[in-house]
Amino acid sequence: MSIAYWIVAGLLALAYLAAGSQKALRTPDQLVESGIGWAKDLRLPLVRLIGALEVLGALGLILPPLTDIAPVLAPIAAIGLALLQVGAATFHLIRREPKVLPMNLLLLAAAVAAAILGFLVWA
């Protein structure tokens, strides 16, 4: 179970670190150019908050079990990322952007899998 968790959580963390750091650090114009078109329609602090939550969630998947300090926080971080994806999918449905829904569902499934595996290993 532990190996499965590390594979799922590692890939998920890489995806969220990449996406979150972009949202946290790039300008809205740079985000739009990179394919995140909705960034121009939201206030910049909200885009930055989403990016920060993604980065913190990614770190939460990896650091607690890696340091063996409260590893039960890792599946809780996965639940947070799953909730973030539910919000993202809802947001994209409202905006009539069905092309991004498969990615939202994939990230949601991976976050749920990481949560389940994490609870099986550390709870």
Least confident window among 46-50, 72-76, 85-89, 95-99: 95-99
pLDDT band at residue 122, thresholds of 50, 70 and 90? confident
Count of structural domains, the chain: 1
Mean pLDDT of 23-34: 93
pLDDT band at residue 123, thresholds of 50, 70 and 90? confident
pLDDT band at residue 23, thresholds of 50, 70 and 90? very high
Residues 78-114: b if buried by 16+ CB within 10 A, e if exposed = bbbbbebbeebbeebeeeeeeebeeebeebbebbbbb
Domain containing 76 equals: 2-122
Which pTM does this prediction carry?
0.93
Length of the chain: 123
H-helix segments, the chain: 2-25, 28-33, 44-67, 73-94, 101-122
